[in-house]
Amino acid sequence: GENVEQHPSTLSVQEGDSAVIKCTYSDSASNYFPWYKQELGKGPQLIIDIRSNVGEKKDQRIAVTLNKTAKHFSLHITETQPEDSAVYFCAASPNQAGTALIFGKGTTLSVSS
Amino acid sequence: ETGVTQTPRHLVMGMTNKKSLKCEQHLGHNAMYWYKQSAKKPLELMFVYNFKEQTENNSVPSRFSPECPNSSHLFLHLHTLQPEDSALYLCASSQEGTGKETQYFGPGTRLLVL
């Protein structure tokens, strides 16, 4: 089955700096890769996702890159702000009906002002 | 109400109690999920319901019993739990078969077993 590794487990940056979180996956059949942000006391919220037919996707300060050959994908946050502080999870899925997501262990991002 | 809602938000129970967690999705989705989130561990899938039929059960102990009466509601019945079952229980839903099976999560129920 699929296995997703996520690094680092914690990340501290200064406001305005960039943050990068990396994930690797094991199942070459996986073709859908969402990223979730979880704030304290809330459930995970989807912030961006990418499919295997795309190498990069951007949404304002957030971007995701995918390297299918190496089986890794990354989340990039530019111009970080204190409200970006949260736990971020990557996930992978073969995106077949009824197949659930396999999540990484999460990265706790702290942005200090 | 919009999105995915869960009740109660917090629950404390003894090991001999019986309680139920409720999830409701207002997104018109046809698949619902229960996940367990423990500290320092990845989200663990517990159950999947697709079109009200259970399609996956990830070796979850029988003290957890799911129920899906319709595509909008999902329950998790709890009985004789152990302290190690204390965790955040998350419900999610998605629309399967559309090519965009993004899962949307509720806020979770924080469960403490004494």
| Polymer length of chain B | 114
Gap between the Cα atoms of A6 and A8, Å rounded: 6
Residues of A in contact with B31 (CB under 8 A): 98
Please indicate if any CB of chain A lies within 8 Å of the CB of B82.
no
Q: What per-residue confidence (pLDDT) applies to A52?
A: 85
Q: What are phi and psi of B84, to 5 degrees?
A: -70, -5
Cβ contact A52:A66 at 8 Å: yes
Q: Taking 70 as the threshold, does the pLDDT of residue B98 lie above it?
A: no
Q: What per-residue confidence (pLDDT) applies to A96?
A: 60
Q: Which residue has the higher pLDDT, A23 or B51?
A: A23
- pLDDT confidence bin for B62, thresholds 50/70/90: very high
Q: Taking 90 as the threshold, does the pLDDT of residue B22 lie above it?
A: yes
Please indicate if any CB of chain A lies within 8 Å of the CB of B50.
yes
Closest-CA distance, A104 to chain B, in angstroms, reads 6
- Whether B101 sits inside 8 A of A32 (CB atoms) is yes
Q: What per-residue confidence (pLDDT) applies to A97?
A: 53
- Whether A43 sits inside 8 A of B105 (CB atoms) is yes
Tokens of A96: 């077949």
Q: Taking 60 as the threshold, does the pLDDT of residue B1 lie above it?
A: no
- pLDDT confidence bin for B53, thresholds 50/70/90: confident
Q: What per-residue confidence (pLDDT) applies to B95?
A: 85
Please indicate if any CB of chain B lies within 8 Å of the CB of A1.
no
Q: What per-residue confidence (pLDDT) applies to A5?
A: 96
- Whether A97 sits inside 8 A of B50 (CB atoms) is yes
For residues B13-22, give the mean pLDDT. 93
Q: Which residue has the higher pLDDT, B31 or B40?
A: B31
Please indicate if any CB of chain B lies within 8 Å of the CB of A7.
no
Please indicate if any CB of chain A lies within 8 Å of the CB of B56.
yes
Low-confidence ranges of chain A (pLDDT < 70): 95-99
